[in-house]
Structure 1
Amino acid sequence: MQSTGITTATVGDIELAYETFGDPGGTPLLLVSGLGSQMISYADELCAGFAERGMFVIRFDNRDVGLSTHLHSAGIPRLGDVRRGDRSTVHYELADMAADTAGLIEALGLDSVHLVGVSMGGMIAQRVAITYPERVRSLTSIMSTTGDRSVGGASPEAQAVLYAPPATDREGAIARQLETSRVIGSPGFPFDEEAVRARAGLAYDRGHDPAGVARQMAAIVTSPDRTADLGKVAVPTLVIHGSDDALVNVSGGRATAAAVPGSELVVIDGMGHDLPRALWPELTERITAHIKRAEG
């Protein structure tokens, strides 16, 4: 099932690029991407799988990546200073990205959606459920964390690739993504080098912007701990995390599930900080079942 093609929606001062799969009359499912990741991080085939199960699937580029608005005038945050508490170069927080997401839901003429977020996208989805509960029917938080700095930490190797100097050309961007995927990917599942190469090349062509990724990173670093607020989330919540996640330790997923009353936690052996093709059937079935329970 193919997409309808990419279009844009205006949310405040931001233009968000998005595309949809499936019948607009189906159950609305909004997919939120992670740090530096574009909407294509949710593969066409994965989106089509949800659409075939009756979902109206929406994926979009967050601010500062892909085809959405890039805040070039905001400059490059000094991440070292940011981590030391200096917010003078920070332009926005995760709450602003959550407002973008809620605004997109409204712009699409939808009262509410089922939200799925991966990594930073999970953080954004959590904040949407906290701040805009009327917009959320269910929440699925994948390989994410609560904002509590004592959980969900990265391994030294993952930190090294996360903060490595950005690529300066297309081949460098592909090589950088391959290196990153080998470090933080899923050791229990086959590494699909061809797919990683293709997605990295397409992402570069759609909008390579290391400064935008740095602004997103600053938003993560400066956003407050959500643990207490997650205790107020009343929508059905599914938390999925890999046992071998080097970038966001599984303790982040466990803490998320512990914070949200009545949530379900699924820890997948061998899964790291990615969505390997071999896991798509399981992920699709688990999330679909979660949504059906919420709808029912």
Structure 2
Amino acid sequence: MTVQMTHNGEVQIAYETFGPPAGEPLLLIMGLDFQMVYWPDGFCQALAERGFHVARFDNRDAGLSTHFSSPKQENPFRVLFRGSARPVYTGSDMVDDGLAVMDALGWDNAHLCGASMGSGLALAAAVLHPQRVRTVTTFAGGPLGKINVLRYVQFGVFPRFARIKHPDTDEGAIRTLVDMIRLLSSPNHPFDEQWARSAAEISHARSPRDPGTTQRQTAAGHNLGDVARRLGEITAPTLIINGADDPLIRPSAGTALARRIPGARAVVYPRVGHLLPEHAWTTMADAVAAQAGG
């Protein structure tokens, strides 16, 4: 795949595509602090084989897209729980970045599929720009709004993240990413260390992880205006997928979210954590295709 660039104002957004340009347009939106390469190539190819023209992109402040700096350093977990950071950009800005990718591809509208924080951005797009959204599929997400989200966070995973310690070297940074992927994966299915290592190496080579990104993107996610209260306005068919073994978000978050969106369906995948493992690619690709065809 060839990385291409587009712009949302002065912000440069990196993206890649899979599948035939004449296919059904499908935009993949990644989650907090992760690059587009965490949408596995094999999953993107599975979607392309089902007739989609797939685009994945680096959110601002991640990967090859424009990076930002914070006015002061803050503990990212304090930001998550208290929202204490002043936003450098907003969630609406991040939504517009995805629309800029669609514009670059000549898509008037598209199917959206978001993971984790990306699920919130996909839903926000369906509220703020309904004419641009054909369908929405969310993965590993939950109700929007800081208070609503915290009800479904599994707090026990955060001390485990804090215990990840490796030397301040390239290899140490890669091992840290692999350990983070391991923690976010299902304990009830063999861990794909080969894929995790490959994704971590590619991610680190493209742009080393900046903990400040966690702070800034979390603050942006808390600044989506009244979108959380407007989910009932969504008219795009919506499918909500959560993993039964998600160590970060309780699977019941999907059902709670579905209650807020007219006609939305919630499903739970067994042996799936907070990231999409290979054994679920076919099932989810089929679900996205069925959603688009419905």
Q: 1:189–1:278: 8 Å Cα contact kept in structure 2?
A: no
**Which secondary structure state, in structure 2, belongs to the residue aligned with residue 29 of structure 1?**
strand
State the Cα deviation string for residues 259-286 of structure 1 (Å, max 9, x = none).
1110111111221111111111111111
Say whether 1:178 aligns with 2:175: no
| Distance in 2, Cα, partners of 1:202 & 1:194 | 12
Aligned to 1:259: 260
Q: 1:189–1:270: 8 Å Cα contact kept in structure 2?
A: yes
- After the TM superposition, which of the residue ranges 168-177 and 29-38 deviates more from structure 2? 168-177
Structural RMSD (CA): 2.2
Q: CA deviation at 1:161?
A: 4.3
State the Cα deviation string for residues 96-139 of structure 1 (Å, max 9, x = none).
21121122222322100000000011111111111011110000
Which of 6, 12, 26 is the equivalent residue of 2:23?
26
Aligned to 1:47: 44
State the Cα deviation string for residues 64-111 of structure 1 (Å, max 9, x = none).
1110001137564554664445443x2123222112112222232210
Aligned positions of 1:200-279 closer than 5 A: 200-210=200-210, 211-223=212-224, 226-279=227-280
Q: CA deviation at 1:177?
A: 2.3
Say whether 1:160 aligns with 2:162: no
What amino acid does structure 2 have at the position aligned with 1:160? P
Aligned to 2:116: 119
| Distance in 1, Cα, partners of 2:230 & 2:238 | 14
| Distance in 1, Cα, partners of 2:15 & 2:73 | 25
Q: 1:186–1:272: 8 Å Cα contact kept in structure 2?
A: yes
| Distance in 2, Cα, partners of 1:10 & 1:225 | 26
Distance 1:161 1:169, change over 3 A: farther
Aligned to 1:281: 282
What amino acid does structure 2 have at the position aligned with 1:254? T
Q: 2:83–2:219: 8 Å Cα contact kept in structure 1?
A: no
- After the TM superposition, which of the residue ranges 171-180 and 26-35 deviates more from structure 2? 171-180
Segments of structure 2 that go 5 or more residues without pairing to the other structure are: none
Say whether 1:64 aligns with 2:64: no
| Distance in 2, Cα, partners of 1:61 & 1:110 | 18
**Which secondary structure state, in structure 1, belongs to the residue aligned with residue 259 of structure 2?**
helix
Q: 1:146–1:255: 8 Å Cα contact kept in structure 2?
A: yes
Aligned to 1:197: 197
| Distance in 1, Cα, partners of 2:115 & 2:9 | 24
Q: 2:142–2:152: 8 Å Cα contact kept in structure 1?
A: yes
| Distance in 2, Cα, partners of 1:224 & 1:154 | 25
**Which secondary structure state, in structure 1, belongs to the residue aligned with residue 14 of structure 2?**
strand
Report the TM-score, using the length of structure 2 for normalisation.
Answer: 0.90
Q: CA deviation at 1:196?
A: 0.6
**Which secondary structure state, in structure 2, belongs to the residue aligned with residue 154 of structure 1?**
coil
Aligned residues with identical type, % of pairs: 36
Segments of structure 1 that go 5 or more residues without pairing to the other structure are: none
State the Cα deviation string for residues 45-78 of structure 1 (Å, max 9, x = none).
2111111111100010000111000113756455
Distance 1:161 1:215, change over 3 A: farther
